Amino acid sequence: MDGVRKTFDEWAQNGRAELMEVEHGKNVSKFLDTISFDEHFSFLDVGCGNGWVVRRMAKEPNCKKAIGIDKSKKMIIQAKKKTDSKNEEFVHTDIESWKYRGKFDFVFSMEALYYSDSIDEALKKIFKLLKPGGQFFCGTDFYTDNKATARWKDIMKIQMHLHSKKEWKEFFKNAGFQVKTKHIKDLKSRKKWKREYGTLFIIGTKN
């Protein structure tokens, strides 16, 4: 079993899944509040954890379907237990090997893509899964410009690809996306990096 899957299986059981929801919830909500969901849409969360973003999106009046995928089986079990609408679906898989025939209007991923074996391959697959005009929102606190989080790799002792904001933009461009970025900061946080750098969101649009 790979280290990433094992770690997140453990987190699903020891309360870290809920902690991630608390840790990321404010900035993710702030970011999603800037997006207009005023037409019917389908939504995919890559690395959905216990499914908190999927549950939030499924409550949007125009959401037809919200799917969460995660390579941790135990995270998916947690997510299924918390399901509260017919629009939600959770699948135990990684993005690269997932066989899915449909296309999405929006794909989202928070703190997950840098665990992929290949960010390029993951982005290629996400690009394919989007409808023309669809968007991919990728959030990360772990990037070289944010010095305080760069040491997470040593603490976690699992595969984590550390890149700069500039490199992330290049990955997206190489996959075919039009790209822009946005920093969402938490000015009231006790953590200095959350106030000064915050979460980097890379936004890719498929034309």
The tens digit of pLDDT for each residue in 28-41 reads 999 999 999 999 99
User: What is the predicted pLDDT for the residue at 1?
Assistant: 54
CA distances, 47 to each of 4, 62, 126, 179 (Å): 11, 23, 12, 21
Average pLDDT, the chain: 95
Kindly provide the residue ranges of all beta strands, DSSP E only, lying in 18-87, ordered along the sequence: 41-46, 63-70
In 10 A of CB 21, how many CB atoms? 17
d(CA 102, CA 107): 13
d(CA 48, CA 59): 16
| CATH code for residues 3-94+102-197 | 3.40.50.150
Give per-residue pLDDT as tens, 43-59: 999 999 999 999 999 99
Burial of 176 (0-12, 13-18, 19+ CB in 10 A): middle
Please name which of 186, 206, 204, 202 lies closest in space to residue 194, comparing C-alpha atoms.
186
pLDDT tens for the chain, 207 residues long, are: 589 999 999 999 998 888 888 889 999 999 999 999 999 999 999 999 999 999 999 999 999 999 999 999 999 999 999 998 999 999 999 999 999 999 999 999 999 999 999 999 999 999 999 999 999 999 999 999 999 998 898 888 899 999 999 999 999 999 999 999 999 999 999 999 999 999 999 999 999
Domain extent listing, the chain: 3-94+102-197
Task: Please report the DSSP string for 80-146 in residue order.
Answer: HHH--STTEEEEE--TTT------EEEEEEES-GGGSS-HHHHHHHHHHHEEEEEEEEEEES--TTS
35 φ, ψ (degrees, to nearest 5): -100, 140
